[in-house]
């Protein structure tokens, strides 16, 4: 028997950062995101030798443990180990024997929610294998707890829910509660977005936890400019929702630009001179707006390019290296199956 899972990465279209505590605890946050056709994959192969074997076939990495009720959470496989430890502790109460491997279509630190999406993928494979009675909200919440509480990795809440539910979602974060509102966006509006949104990899990565910690500190210290910017991003999520549902696709570039100008005020490390130069070059070539994906500092950016301006924008961005990436928006979240 072989168990597999496949979980989509996401683009954060609006409201990014308002899902992070303590802002979401104090004021409530709102996010609009959508999943795309880049994925995290996991395979579990049950064994009978009493070993837990973690594999990253694309990296050529491997770690093995024997008769493990709990494994250390050091090294490359920290996410895999965090999920294993929680599954054993909360559900099976005995060592497991398995070989588990995974890979992701985008590099770590790319701003597409790779870490959280991988946690959901790993967790989903265990749910399929062990037939655990967990629904979508349960899986997303458990993935959040493993990453943020068990492993102590700084970040927000949106990525786990985006990966689990899939599609276009307007999410509300009120204290400890998360409400996922799936959006019924007409296919022709989605097709227009696919046509006009250009996804560009800057060929750099970032450590989102560092940026998020700076953002959290700004809220704790009651820095007015940072908090006001987050309020505006809350508004942006509502603007984006209305634009998508009502078909005002031509306004999305302006909404993205509005959000980007305020996102840069949340923390100094969100942007840098190279990112600013890339953004300015894209707008000069015909884009009407854009943003960096994720916390900031590097990784993927995307731009709204109306008409046929995507070709001029792509040419302008070529001067900075990096590459544009093909994708489609997807409607499915976590998928699991047994072979």
Residues assigned a catalytic role: 159
Query: What 3-state class would DSSP assign to 325?
Result: strand
What is d(CA 13, CA 162) in angstroms, rounded to the nearest whole number? Answer: 12
What is d(CA 130, CA 336) in angstroms, rounded to the nearest whole number? Answer: 12
Pairing of strands 168-174, 98-104: unpaired
3-state secondary structure 164-220: HHCCEEEEEEECCEEEEEECCCCHHHHHHHHHHEEEEECCCCCCHHHHHHHHHHHHH
- DSSP letter assigned to residue 222: T
Q: 38: which 2 tokens?
A: 């880049």
Question: Using CB atoms within 10 A of its CB, is residue 266 exposed (0-12), middle (13-18) or buried (19+)?
Answer: buried
What is d(CA 162, CA 217) in angstroms, rounded to the nearest whole number? Answer: 26
């Amino acid at each position: 028997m072989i168990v597999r899972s496949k979980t989509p990465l996401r683009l954060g279209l609006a409201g990014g950062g308002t899902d992070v505590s303590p802002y979401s605890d104090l004021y409530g946050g709102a996010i609009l995101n959508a999943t795309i056709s880049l994925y995290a994959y996991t395979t579990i192969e049950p064994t009978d030798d009493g070993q837990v074997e973690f594999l990253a076939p694309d990296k050529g990495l491997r770690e093995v443990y024997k008769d493990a009720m709990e494994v250390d959470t050091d090294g490359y496989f920290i996410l895999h180990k965090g999920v294993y430890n929680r599954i054993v502790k909360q559900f099976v109460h005995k060592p497991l024997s398995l070989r588990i491997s995974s890979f992701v279509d985008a590099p770590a630190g790319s701003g597409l929610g790779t870490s959280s999406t991988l946690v959901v993928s790993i967790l989903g494979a265990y749910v399929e294998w062990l037939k655990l009675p967990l629904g979508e909200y349960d899986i997303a919440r458990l993935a959040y707890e493993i990453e943020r509480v068990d492993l102590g990795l700084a970040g927000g809440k949106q990525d786990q829910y985006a990966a689990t539910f899939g599609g276009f979602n307007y999410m509300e974060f009120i204290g400890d509660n998360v409400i996922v509102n799936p959006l019924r966006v007409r296919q022709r509006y989605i097709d227009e977005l696919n046509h006009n949104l250009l996804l560009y990899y800057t060929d750099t990565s970032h450590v989102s936890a560092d940026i998020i910690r700076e953002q959290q500190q700004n809220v704790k210290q009651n820095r007015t400019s940072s908090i006001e910017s987050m309020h505006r991003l809350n508004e942006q999520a509502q603007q984006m929702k209305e634009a998508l549902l009502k078909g005002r696709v031509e306004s999305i570039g302006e909404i993205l630009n509005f959000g980007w100008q305020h996102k840069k005020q949340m923390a100094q490390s969100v942007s840098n001179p190279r990112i600013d130069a890339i953004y300015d070059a894209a707008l000069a070539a015909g884009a009407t707006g854009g943003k960096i994906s994720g916390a900031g500092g590097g990784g993927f950016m995307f731009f709204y390019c109306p008409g046929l301006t995507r070709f001029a924008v792509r040419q302008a961005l070529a001067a900075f290296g990096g590459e544009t990436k093909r994708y489609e928006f997807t409607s499915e979240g976590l998928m699991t199956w047994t072979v």
